[in-house]
Amino acid sequence: MEIPSQTAPSEGHILRRPALQTQVGTALVVPLPPGFKESFFSAGGVPIHYLEGPCNGPPLLLLHGTARDWNSFSVLLPQLSLRFHVFLPDLRGHGASGHVPCAYRVSQFADDICEFVRRVVPPDPALFGHSLGGIVALSIAARCGVSAVIVGDSMISPKNLTSSIYHTIFVQLRDLLVQGGSQEHIAHGIGKFQLQLPGIDELVAIAELPGNTPSVLLEWARSALQTDTDVLTMAVEGSAYDQWRPESILPQISCPVLLLQGNPELDALLTDFDVEAAKRLLACVEHIKFPLLGHALFMQRPDPVLTAITGFLDRHLCKSSAATD
């Protein structure tokens, strides 16, 4: 398959990793899920890699978080692909999609995926975005025709990142990637990241936290190694959110929205304050809080999150279908 060329804007210097600008579609590949195929789509010259599942129902687009890729949703795919026509793009600068230095604003991610929705995905898809993918999904819903949006513990207010452990994680991860190394080396380094957790005086290493097994850290390292370090730099410096204005964007969304919130005391990014703000700004919104889950949500326990997703989509997609009959 021929991959479209891409152009990079000439913006200011940002710290970058040495000799690790991965060519599109070549490195650290994981097997495709059964029944899925992969392809590339050119969004304004940027190659966007995506997976497409079997046509088993209405279209559902899944959008991953920072320094992740389509494979972060792997635990949900066996069930979702039985009931939906699933699409999983890698956002620009992530996975096997193209890198565009200094061009990783939320609005630019949304530009790519809006074009993808208009030209590739069947009409009126539902969107589920985790973390970064959630605010990208909201940005898309304000501009494109979508049937429903599910937001997975996303940071509605950008200022929340600077006070969260993820600001520290992104800084340490960026610096680790700049130094370079194998997947195993990066996984070991991630496990040694020191975090200040609520209610705990001493710093805690990521590898010591429940669920962060060696295989989990290796998968995190795999996706991180395919991420342009500019993505992380723009996130920690705040420029990624320059045009993200929830107070003006959210009122433009007319479709139903489900907010999935983890427990802020367990590293979740979506705060109670932001939930209340979103409820005021959105026309049709539901909210589910998972007190035993952190920011990773379905990566920790897929079953309750899957139940929430399918229940919400069953209610609202059925209503939408009935209204058009």
My answer on whether 209 and 245 are in the same domain is: no
Within-domain flag for 174: yes
My answer on whether 204 and 268 are in the same domain is: no
Check residue 150 and give its pLDDT.
99
Domain interval for residue 184: 162-234
Tell me 227's DSSP state.
Answer: S
Cα(268)–Cα(125) distance, integer angstroms: 27
Within-domain flag for 211: yes
My answer on whether 142 and 251 are in the same domain is: yes
Q: Nearest to residue 149, comparing CAs of 325, 280, 320, 322?
A: 320
Cα(236)–Cα(227) distance, integer angstroms: 15
- CB 147, CB 124: distance < 8 Å: yes
Cα(67)–Cα(24) distance, integer angstroms: 16
The string of pLDDT tens digits covering residues 68-107 is: 999 999 999 999 999 999 999 999 999 999 999 999 999 9
Q: Residue 154 is part of a domain; what is its CATH number? A: 3.40.50.1820
Strands of 59-147 (E only): list them. Answer: 59-63, 85-89, 126-130
* Average predicted confidence (pLDDT) for the chain: 89
pTM: 0.90
Question: CB-based contacts of 128: which residues, under 8 Å, 6+ apart?
Answer: 60, 61, 62, 63, 137, 149, 150, 152, 309
Within-domain flag for 4: no
Q: Tokens for 57, please give them.
A: 């129902």
Kindly state the average pLDDT of the residues 225-253.
96
Within-domain flag for 17: no
Domain boundary among 210, 234, 258: 234
Kindly state the average pLDDT of the residues 23-46.
82
Q: Nearest to residue 217, comparing CAs of 187, 256, 178?
A: 187
My answer on whether 182 and 290 are in the same domain is: no
My answer on whether 42 and 117 are in the same domain is: yes
The single-letter code of the amino acid at 184 is E
My answer on whether 245 and 273 are in the same domain is: yes
Number of domains in the chain: 2
Within-domain flag for 72: yes
- CB 152, CB 128: distance < 8 Å: yes
My answer on whether 190 and 319 are in the same domain is: no
My answer on whether 47 and 122 are in the same domain is: yes
Kindly state the average pLDDT of the residues 112-131.
98
My answer on whether 98 and 187 are in the same domain is: no
My answer on whether 143 and 263 are in the same domain is: yes
Within-domain flag for 204: yes
